[in-house]
Chain A
């Protein structure tokens, strides 16, 4: 079992550009959540996807959007990048039933210059 995999691992973008981050959940998991983690801070919830729908959203602007595919993998899109978007983006998967534990991927380190 490969666990949760994210790609790419590192990314450098310029202000104003758009970025797409990808996540494959752990086998058997159908729920995917995305988090933003600034240096020295805890993960901040962006949104959660289940059954290809956004089920819950945190306090992030509409520039942050996502998608979940029929195979449960997910994408996070960020438009009009700002310097403040530089962070580690984490994907976590869990089963919809009995899922008290979230499994995290290694994250994508996004740097906006």
Chain B
């Protein structure tokens, strides 16, 4: 089957660093994406990793290990506005169908 596992909730304080893990099981792998979704909002794209290693975009970084079927999203210098749900996602079946994890709800405390 195809599935993604990520923690349901993470809590951290403002200014801290938090890591959200994602393990996946898919038939055919094209890459791992991360999306952010605020309550009542649309998911917005954060990053995409097709190859092993770390991709950095400002305060956010994403890591992929294809051999371990594992990736993570790293958020640094946390701000209150980072409180949101974060989803890992993988395209499958020729890249036309994208499967999302159930999401990790991040709470940032002052």
Contact = CB atoms under 8 A, between A and B. Distances in A.
Interface of A: 4, 33, 35, 40-45, 48, 50, 55-58, 90, 92, 100-107
A42 B87 contact: yes
A33 B44 CA distance: 15
Nearest to A42: B100
A62 B31 CA distance: 29
A90 B41 CA distance: 10
Contacts of B45: 101-103
A51 to B, nearest CB: 12
B43 A43 contact: yes
B100 A56 contact: no
A43 B87 contact: yes
Nearest to B48: A100
B42 A48 contact: no
B97 to A, nearest CB: 5
Contacts of B75: none
Contacts of A107: 42
Contacts of A35: 100
Interface in B68-110: 87, 89, 93-94, 96-103
A41 B102 CA distance: 5
Contact of A48 (B33, B87, B97, B103): B97
B64 to A, nearest CB: 13
B105 to A, nearest CB: 8
B9 to A, nearest CB: 11
Given A100-B33, A106-B41, A45 B99 contact: yes
Given A42-B89, A45-B97, 4 more contacts: A42-B101, A45-B100, A50-B96, A106-B41
